[in-house]
Amino acid sequence: MNMMRTILAALFVFTIITGVIYPLCVTGVAQLVFPTQANGSLIMQEGRPVGSLLIGQPFDDPKFFWGRLSATAQFPYNATASGGSNLAQTNPDLVKNAQVRLDALKAAGTRISGPVPVDLVTASGSGLDPHISCEAAEYQVERVANTRGLDESVVRALIATYTEGRQFGLFGEPRVNVLLLNRALESAK
């Protein structure tokens, strides 16, 4: 009986420490040190969230830049079902998906010339990638500028403004956040 009481007391104490105190401390420190990231890196407009810097959104209107394909289940960019398509390079479905995207780009008015940037026709590993390469953004400039009646130099300047460098100056490649770029397009003249 004495041992059972000790075991239950230890269970209670460690439940409080690891299940209540530790999570509250970590959450509190995160809110103080990294408040934007701790709250989902939300992009706000008029006090309401319109997206996140970390999760892509589906854009298929020709007046917007298009992001990577999403392979998430049920609907594109479903943050609760993150995951890639896991299609091998030899899988015919990968080629079929890329061809469907190419056809959609053509139908939207994108002039297909030269090699198409791979991130315009394939999904990312998470299916949630909010970024495209600078090459993928440049590939869409003519369509977006023509659809919006903007000069291509204005659109290129926006791409340059919203291009993010390598992580810590070392990792990855320069990239463009599609949601931020498309929001900037909305106010471009």
Per DSSP, the chain holds a count of helices (H) and strands (E) of: 8, 5
Residue 86 makes CB contacts below 8 A (sequence gap 6+) with none
The predicted-structure confidence for 41-64, as pLDDT tens digits, reads as follows: 888 888 888 888 888 888 889 999
pTM of the model: 0.79
How far is residue 124's CA from residue 131's CA, in Å, rounded to a whole number? Answer: 10
Residues 65 and 131 occupy one common structural domain: yes
Whole-Å CA distances, 164 to 34, 142, 171: 19, 21, 12
| Residue 38: DSSP 8-state | H
Q: Are 172 and 138 in contact (CB under 8 A)?
A: no
In the sheet that holds 163-164, the strands lie side by side as: 131-133, 175-177, 163-164
What's the confidence (pLDDT) of residue 181?
A: 94
The predicted-structure confidence for 152-181, as pLDDT tens digits, reads as follows: 999 999 999 999 999 888 898 999 999 999
Q: Indicate the average pLDDT of the chain.
A: 88
- The pLDDT confidence band at residue 77, using thresholds 50, 70 and 90, is confident
Residues 169 and 90 occupy one common structural domain: yes
Report the chain's C-alpha Rg in angstroms.
Answer: 22
Q: Are 182 and 59 in contact (CB under 8 A)?
A: yes
- The larger pLDDT score, comparing residue 59 to residue 87, is at 59
The predicted-structure confidence for 106-153, as pLDDT tens digits, reads as follows: 888 888 888 888 888 888 777 788 999 999 999 999 999 999 999 999
Structure-block tokens of residue 50: 């319109």
Residues 57 and 27 occupy one common structural domain: no
Residues 119 and 155 occupy one common structural domain: yes
- The larger pLDDT score, comparing residue 28 to residue 100, is at 28
Structure-block tokens of residue 39: 């709250």
The H or E element spanning position 134 is: helix 134-139
Residues 54 and 107 occupy one common structural domain: yes
Residues 25 and 48 occupy one common structural domain: no
Domain that holds residue 6: 2-35
Q: For the chain, what is the domain count?
A: 2
Residues 19 and 81 occupy one common structural domain: no
What's the confidence (pLDDT) of residue 102?
A: 85
